[in-house]
Structure formats: C-alpha cells, structure tokens
Structure 1
Amino acid sequence: MTFAFHEREMRAAAAHLGRRGFLTATAAASALAFVTAVPGTARAAAGDDRILRTEPFTLGVASGDPLPGGIVLWTRLAPHPYEPDGGLPGVRIPVHWEIAHDERFRRIAARGLATAHPEFHHTVHVEADGLDHDRVYHYRFRAGHWISPVGRTRTAPAHDARLTGLRLGVVSCQAYHDGYFTAYRHLADEDLDAVLHVGDYLYEYAVDAAGGARRYTDRVLPAHFARETVTLDDYRMRYALYKSDPDLMAAHAAHPFVATWDDHELENNYAGAVPQDGSSPEEFLVRRAAAYRAYWENQPLRRPQRPRGPDARLYRRLRYGRLAQFDVLDTRQYRSDQAYGGVWHAPGPESEDPARTMAGAAQERWLVDGWRSSQALWNVVPQQVTFSRRRSTTAETYKLSMDAWDGYPAARDRLLDGARDAGVENLVVLTGDVHVGYGMDIKRDFTDPDSPTVGTEFVTTSVTSGKDGVDKPANWEKYMAANPHMKFYNGRRGYLRLTLDREKTRADYRTLSAVTTPGAPVTTAASFVTEAGNPGLQPA
C-alpha cells in the first residue's frame, strides 16, 4: 500500500496539533479526538478528601522494567473506572508512595510524593531508584485517606552480577471477551523474578453487556464497551475494563512486568502507519497516537517510552547480571506492510524482497549492536510474532503467515547473520500472538532440515484469546510433519514459565482446561530445555 501524501508531514501535523491539545480527523460521519496537553495545565486539588470520597485504587497497583536498584511503580486513581473521567474532576491530585523491605512497612526503603495528572488520566508512574540490587520490595500508594493494595516487586541485579538462576513468566493475548483471566491467578502464585508480556494486552473489539464468553449473570457492562476502540477515551476505558479484573490485578501486584505491544493494542494486523481497516493514513495516525498514549498511561513504563504523538520508542534493553540480556522488540511500529495482503500465502518475490523490514533499520542496528556488547550467557529476545518458519503442509506448494517473520525472511536472515557475527551462542526468542504454545529450533536455513540449529524459540499460548482450546488443534499432525524443527505444539490457554541458569534454559508450558468458566486448575503440558552452548530443544 502506498500513501498519496507524505507520512512525515502527517506525523509532524499530528504532533503539532497534539501539543495544542486537540486533534481530529474525519471518517464517514464521526470524528476522532484526543487530548495531549502537557502536565501542569490543570489546577491542583484543593482538598483530596472532598474529591476522593470513594475508593480510588479500583484498578490495583503494578510495577515494571526492573533495573539494578530501580523499579517503576504504577497506579491509577479511578473511583468510577467505567466512566470516561474515572469519576474525578480535571485537577492534579497528590499521591504518596512508599517502598518497604517488609509487607507490613515497618522498614521503609524509600518514599516520596507523585502527582496524578488529569492529562494522563490520573495515572501515576514513579521511577524509584537508590534501592538495593536484586532485592524483593513491597510498595503502596496513598491518596487522601485511601491506601492502595500492597504490591510486591523485585529490582534487577547489578550488571556484573554472576547469578545462578532466574525465573520468569511469559504471557500474551488476553481477550477479555474470550474468557476469564484464570491464568493470571495461577501466575500470581508462581515464584518469579519478573513477567514478560509480549503483546495483545487488550483487544480493540467490542465487549457486550455480558462480557462475551464470560456470560455474566451478576453484572451488566456499560454500553460504551460494546463498540470498537477508536478514540483516546475508548482505549482508556478499555484498559479500565481489563485492569479491573481481579486475577490480572493479582498478577500485577505479585510481580514486576516487562511489557511490549503487538497489534490489538491498536488494531488487528496493522503495519507501521498502514491500517488494516482501509481508513485514511492521517486518520490512522490519530488513532495510533490515541492507542499508544493509553498504552503508556496504563503500563509501568519509564519516561523514554512515553509517546510523542503517534510515535513511541518501546524497544529497550534490560540486563540480569551476566546471566541474561533481554532485548525487548517492537515488531509493529516500524514494519513494512504485509506482503500479499497479510494473509497466509505462498512465498514469492513480494515477501522475499530484501528491502522488507520487520523491526526497522534503526531497531535492527540497535539489536545487533547490543549483541556485540553483550556479556550475558543468554541473549533473550521478547517479541511478538512467530520467528521460526511454519509451513502449512508437507506438499510442494505451501503457505506461510505473511504477518509473521515468514513474511519478512530477509529481515530474519539479517538478524541471524547479526547474531552469528556478534558471537551469540545462546539465543532464545520469546513469542506470543498465535494463541498456541510452540517449541521450535531456530535453523540457520529453514529450507534445509539438516541446517545448523542456532537458537531456540519458545512461543507462549494466549491467556484467553481463542477461548478454551484443545491439546491438539486440527492441524497438529500436518504442522508437526511439515516443520521438523517444531518439537512441541499445544492449543490450550495458559502461560510459559521460564527458568534460566548457567547450564540451561527450561520452559514449562502451563495450561488450563478451560477459560470460559472461572477457576480451572493449571497443569504442565510439557517441559523442554535448551543447553548452554548446545542450541535446540530437548525434553526436560
């Protein structure tokens, strides 16, 4: 798809109008609008207790992006979270925060005062530092006479620390209307250092009054959820719906999250500035600015990740001593448009064009440069879409997903070349998106089954998307035969538990029997390891 005008000028106009505080673009008979005023333009609250007459911490607390001695703390003040303004006037509200060594807050490690700005929907982002390395902490907020739930978090170790182990959760794809977030309840009970969220934190699709597959009988959701998210208010309120889920709140309160987005945080299968729905490019950039802003507001992210109009630098690097380096990718914002309309299609000149990019030139350079300077044993890449090849059939004529890395093979080859040249020996790619669990060897040449294995890909299934699922999807035998590097394939919902140490990385595929009814138990469907210095999957 080509634009009839210049994307650069559209971005400049979006950012400029955003600073003026109001941006619109007309589509059919409706207008899109969002506010991007800078903090400080609203007056401060005169009396917090008069404003906060009911519980404001209805969406819980969260933490994220651990650094050595530092962590991001998050909350939002929203006495009435399903209302556009959250039940608060457009004033600044002071919020006190505390971090303690113990959950009773007898030994305070740090405290301070933050501001809940109406321009940021009364969300709070505290970048706490000066803490001990690799330490568990407890935190809470206070606004007026209200005290938030207590959260538990953990800082990262020093960059030169020689860790003996690291435990992580990996999650993705949590469509509210497809079922209950039971997986998060079990994740909250796991002993983890952090959780990696690799995309589709919310879905733009309408949620009916009964909560879709949740089939509520004890509540009725407001009518404004029963439409697709388009405006800033739409996205903000959809986050309020998702984050009001008690199981999701429990997981956020239990572990720090490291989050990156995929497509549904904005719109299904978008590519860069190219929409799927056929709307005009300038209108889409307005929508993208709204979605990106709401994402930052509702995640425990740092200031460098805050959007500027329709652009945001979400890719970033975190280190856990000399054990692991995490290069968190964004494979949506910078990608070339999908080849052949983005559907499953046979590989051809359009998809194999060397100029096609999945991550953009700047992010590709950043990733390879980071590998060159890495001192970590494990180089881990949390990202969104399936990296390894997935042939649809063993037949001579087959199809590949044009939305995954199979639709961008030259970009995949560039990254594998970069990993080889940088001397990366233990490459682990973490993926979401496809609503199933895969375990795959990353081959240097996927067309040759005897090609060297150069890394390992663990694909986590969805939290709810796709509803209950089955152990063996209908195409299980066909996929396993057509892709000999695929060692595991399961269609249940759940999450991935990852354990890294000096000898191996272990993946436990944690699955649920159902998500359309609450409270299902969790089991381990399979476990695999990849050994340091010996890439490839082996049964644990």
Structure 2
Amino acid sequence: MRPTLLAATALAALGLAAVPLMAEDHAQREDTPVAVSLAPDQLLAPYYAELRKKVVMPEAGPTPALSPATTLTRIAFGSCNHQSAPQHMWAQIAAQNPQLFLMIGDNVYGDNGWDADAGLESLRRSYALQASHPEFSGFRAKFPMMATWDDHDFGLNDAGGSFPMRRWGEELFETFWGSSDAVRSRPGVYDSTITGLEGKRVQVILLDTRFFRSDLKRMEWSRERPPLGSYLPDSDPAKTMLGSEQWAWLKAELAKPADLRILVSSVQVITDAHQFEGWTNMPAERAKLYDLLADREDSGLVILSGDRHAGGIYKAEHRGETLWELTSSSLNLAFGNDNDRSTAREPDPARTTKFFSVENYGLVDIDWKTKQLTMTLKGNDSGTLAQQAFTW
C-alpha cells in the first residue's frame, strides 16, 4: 500500500480526515480552505499520546553495559530474525563469546499481519513475542547489544520517510531496545559509540536507512517482472538515504579519533547486482558516503549489512582504498539452502565469495598487534561459510 493511501486510511480510522483545514483569517471567507501544514505522522501525535497511556510497551530486557575501556577483539552481528521462528542461533552465537552483539535490522517482522492500524499493533505484539523467548532473553542478559532497524521492524516492507506511522514505530523500537538518551532525543534511531583506550579505539556507527529515506524509484509495470527486484537507480539530487541531520551527524562522527570504525547499514552498500533495496537505489548518495568515508579521521574501516536473507563478502575501490563489506542475513528466516543456486542467480563482480542462502551470522575479529581484521560468515551449525582478513 502506498504511504499516501496508508496515511489517508489511518487518519480516516481515527476521525482525522486528511483534508484542508478551514481558514481562521478574517481576510478570507470563513469557508475558504487552506493547506494542511502538518505531515501525517505529526497529525497522529495526539492519538499516540492517548495510546501511550493504554498499552504496554514491550521491552527486550536488561543487557550488560559495555565498559568504555574495553578492548574489543570480537564482535558478532546478525539480521532478519523472525519472532515466530526457532531461536536456535542465539546459543551458537553465545558459544563464540562475543564482547558485543549488533542487531542490524529486521530484528522482528512486525509488519506480518499488519492491517494498516495506526497503532502498529502487529509490531507491538512481535516485540512482545520476541522478548518472551528464553533463548533471546538469556543471550541478551549476558552479552551487550546495540541495534538499528530495517523495514520490517520500521513498520512496513520497503518503507521509508513517508511512512506515516514512523514516529510510533520509533517509540516502540527505542522502548524495546532501551535506546540511549542521545538516540531518544532526536528523530531516527542512528547511534554511535567508541570503546577502548587510545590505540585500540573501536567506533561502531549504526546508520538509520529508514526514517529519512526518500521514496524509491520503481520500474514500470510489465508482465515480465525482473527476477532481482523492481527498483531503479535514481539520480534525483533531492532524494536522500540518511537525511540532512543524519548526514551532518555522520560527518562529525567520522571526524572523531578512532583506530577502527565499524559502519553498519541495514541495507547493502557496495553491490549493484540486484534491484532490491540498497544504496544502489541512490548512486549519488552512495558516492557521497564513499567520499565521507575517504575523508574520515585516519582509521581502519569495515562495513556490515543485512536485509538479503543471504550473506557474502564484498569489496570496492575508492580513492585508493579497498572498502570491505560483510553481509549477514538471515538468523532464522533463510530463503533456501542451495548456496550454489543463490550464487548463480545473482552474479556479482563486487562479491568475492558465494552468496550463501542458509541461516547465518557474522563475526568481526580484531588483532591489535598486527592491525588485522578478520570478518567471518558463520552458518546455522557455526561452520565457516566465508572469511576475509585484511590489515589497515
């Protein structure tokens, strides 16, 4: 359903018809309509104020604080975790003993069964169900966690900044994950932290590729649908992935002293091999990201992404630097177990490995003596699917 239609449906259900307001200015006739200046998500604010008093906001439960002095040597991450699917991967990840775990999007599938209600009740129920799993709560109680979102826990498949319920989705997210005061103080859920003493400082940057993102450019309808998505690259300079405030924030974060940076994007960054969601949808925005990364305060860098229900390792060259990206997806919602078929279906010169469609999670290991980073994709039995090491 289109965001404009969603807005009209939600507002009508609440008795807030999305029609022009009546002018109060005596210079105009009393019945002269004037344009509504509030966006649909702002018009819904009074409804959410009342809803907040009535519903229980699910919480993931306590997680240990990561000491700022910790020397990070192992970080795990994953994406695409369905609340109704088996939660067997948590024990396997725990066995790897990570110091930090990153949930990088589609952490629940809250849009499954959604009926366009403004309260996003299906998303709220999804969070509550996820919190009830002892495998998840036990893992979270032991290992520090950070999170960002993707479309299915933002509120709607492929949705972006025009999604009218985004602010309520944000409140559900921030309550569930126990977001920091910095995150709660601004629109969107982007976040950053620096851990470790000088010489061993790791900066983790979690981008929000949903809250501000412009609508995507779709292919025209045809009987022959493309096998790898339906979006086109959009060169419109007005389109944005991150929004001006988040871009400014990211520039400032990349100027901070750090020895290694881990940049998290819920959608893939480097690849052009498909027409699903990704930075490939907005090539000018990706070029801007690459330039910003190239201008960062001197440090190592690795990119982590999810979304695809398959995983692999990617690389790109930009201004004399090799950019590495590890995509890990899905924790428990894989779309197949034939890695060779997935690889053949999506040929990609930027991918250095097969495209692994089995359940998987990712590891980042840091050797501070040699300044070597090793990224590993682990399967649903914790066997190694792919691995790449590089020095910075």
Cα displacement (A) at 1:339: 1.2
Among 202, 205, 208, which residue is 1:324 paired with? 202
- If the length of structure 1 is used for normalisation, what is the TM-score? 0.58
| Structure 1 Cα separation of the partners of residues 307 and 156 of structure 2 | 13
| Structure 2 Cα separation of the partners of residues 227 and 154 of structure 1 | 34
| Structure 1 Cα separation of the partners of residues 38 and 114 of structure 2 | 31
Among 1, 4, 12, which residue is 2:42 paired with? 12
Name the residue aligned to 1:153.
64
- 1:23-422 paired onto structure 2 within 5 Å: 35-37=51-53, 121=57, 123=59, 153-158=64-69, 163=71, 165-177=72-84, 179-206=85-112, 230=117, 231-265=119-153, 266-274=155-163, 285=164, 287-306=165-184, 312-321=187-196, 322-340=200-218, 344=229, 351-372=234-255, 374-391=256-273, 400-422=274-296
Cα displacement (A) at 1:457: 0.6
Give CA-to-partner distance per residue, 1:322-373, whole Å, 9 cap, x none.
431111110000011011269835855xx1223321111111121122112x
8 Å CA contact 2:270, 2:350 repeated in 1: no
Which letter does structure 1 place at the counterpart of 2:124? R
Q: 1:509 to 1:254 in 2, by over 3 A?
A: same
Q: 1:443 to 1:479 in 2, by over 3 A?
A: farther
SS at 2:161's partner residue?
coil
Cα displacement (A) at 1:288: 3.0
| Structure 2 Cα separation of the partners of residues 306 and 409 of structure 1 | 30
Which letter does structure 2 place at the counterpart of 1:527? Q
Give CA-to-partner distance per residue, 1:89-142, whole Å, 9 cap, x none.
xxxxxxxxxxxxxxxxxxxxxxxxxxxxx76547598xxxxxxxxxxxxxxxxx
1:491 paired with 2:357, answer yes
Q: 1:122 to 1:466 in 2, by over 3 A?
A: closer
SS at 1:36's partner residue?
helix
SS at 2:81's partner residue?
coil
Q: 1:294 to 1:425 in 2, by over 3 A?
A: closer
1:474 paired with 2:348, answer no
1:458 paired with 2:336, answer no
Which letter does structure 2 place at the counterpart of 1:530? F
Among 509, 523, 530, which residue is 2:390 paired with? 530
| Structure 2 Cα separation of the partners of residues 523 and 505 of structure 1 | 19
8 Å CA contact 1:379, 1:424 repeated in 2: no
SS at 1:251's partner residue?
helix
8 Å CA contact 2:264, 2:305 repeated in 1: yes
| Structure 1 Cα separation of the partners of residues 384 and 60 of structure 2 | 37
| Structure 1 Cα separation of the partners of residues 55 and 231 of structure 2 | 47
SS at 1:487's partner residue?
coil
| Structure 1 Cα separation of the partners of residues 295 and 168 of structure 2 | 39
Which letter does structure 2 place at the counterpart of 1:340? R
- If the length of structure 2 is used for normalisation, what is the TM-score? 0.79
Two-structure CA RMSD over aligned residues (Å): 3.0
- Identical columns (%): 21
| Structure 1 Cα separation of the partners of residues 91 and 288 of structure 2 | 39
SS at 2:97's partner residue?
coil
Cα displacement (A) at 1:501: 3.0
Cα displacement (A) at 1:485: 4.6
8 Å CA contact 1:323, 1:501 repeated in 2: no
| Structure 2 Cα separation of the partners of residues 122 and 477 of structure 1 | 41
Which letter does structure 2 place at the counterpart of 1:297? T
Cα displacement (A) at 1:269: 0.5
Q: 1:7 to 1:187 in 2, by over 3 A?
A: farther
* Mean CA deviation greater in 425-434 or 263-272: 425-434
Give CA-to-partner distance per residue, 1:24-80, whole Å, 9 cap, x none.
xxxxxxxxxxx134xxxxxxxxxxxxxxxxxxxxxxxxxxxxxxxxxxxxxxxxxxx
Which letter does structure 2 place at the counterpart of 1:191? N
| Structure 1 Cα separation of the partners of residues 293 and 78 of structure 2 | 25
Name the residue aligned to 1:426.
300
Cα displacement (A) at 1:229: 7.7
Q: 1:6 to 1:402 in 2, by over 3 A?
A: farther
Cα displacement (A) at 1:7: 6.9
8 Å CA contact 1:235, 1:290 repeated in 2: no
| Structure 2 Cα separation of the partners of residues 194 and 489 of structure 1 | 25
Which letter does structure 1 place at the counterpart of 2:52? T
SS at 2:215's partner residue?
coil
Q: Greater Rg, structure 1 or structure 2?
A: 1
| Structure 2 Cα separation of the partners of residues 251 and 166 of structure 1 | 19
| Structure 2 Cα separation of the partners of residues 124 and 458 of structure 1 | 26
Cα displacement (A) at 1:204: 2.8
Give CA-to-partner distance per residue, 1:483-521, whole Å, 9 cap, x none.
145334211102111112331111221111xxxxxxxx3
Q: How many aligned residue pairs are there?
A: 348
